[in-house]
Amino acid sequence: MSRATAGLASNLSAAILNQEDPETVRDGIPAYLIMLDSFVAGAPEDVAMLSAAAELYAAYGVVFVDDPERAERLTQRSWNYGQRALCSANANTCGMANLHLRDMQPILDTLDQKNSAPLYTFGLSWLAYIQTHSDEADALARLPQATAVMQRTRELDMDYRPGQVEMYLAVLNTIRPPALGGDFTAGRTHYERAIELTSGRDLSVQVKFARYYARTLYDRELHDQVLQQVLTADPIEPGLTLTNTLAQREARILLNNADDYF
């Protein structure tokens, strides 16, 4: 049963990612989320089920939900699932999210390659939580821990979702302005590496580059150049069609209000 539900989750996730109509996904995902909740209830320590739930709740809460309070609730659930997935994969990590970086790092150092997938989910769900709770000082204060998680994921397996790992490291370094601790030199390096690793086919990387890097530094030329490239690209790409379609929508919005921003 566990293998069957894991296969169903994988196939449904692939169908979502290859969907060209975001409204269909927006309307359909809630039912899938409830179904994943039921799968987790039946197998509460299944790492694959917990990870699938964490990643979809994160995506839905960040991308499709406009109500801030609802987005906070959904990414909180994502974050809970992400912690449970890693804890089920490696008991030494249970409760690690509550630790200071100096106490977390030794635990991260004990992990090996088989922990890279749940560690990635743990970091992704943490970033989603931070993004929707950015007005909370405690959430932002844990950016160094979330960054360390993604860095360790990259160290454990350089071939596991390398473009996404680099993109999330880029966002983690640029979600705060330099005056508040953002490292924009490292951030730009991660953005450029993510674009290289995805051969420029993941348009969401460029949009985040424009939103978090170019806008924060008030670099209008870079901002417009990157977004124009996004708009002229073909969004149809296996595993990225939905992401790219949404990225092009966001690029148009950012360009349309650029005069008001810069």
- Over the stretch 181-204, which tens digit does the pLDDT of each residue have? 899 999 999 999 999 999 999 999
**The predicted structure's pLDDT at residue 116:** 96
Residue spans of the chain under pLDDT 70: 1-10
- pLDDT tens by residue, 14-27: 778 788 898 998 99
Class of domain 1-157 as given by CATH:
mainly alpha
**The predicted structure's pLDDT at residue 65:** 93
Q: Report d(CA 173, CA 175) in Å as an integer.
A: 6
Domain locations along the chain: 1-157, 161-262
pTM over 0.95: no
**The predicted structure's pLDDT at residue 8:** 64
**The predicted structure's pLDDT at residue 6:** 57
Give the side-chain half-sphere CA count within 13 A for 256. Answer: 7
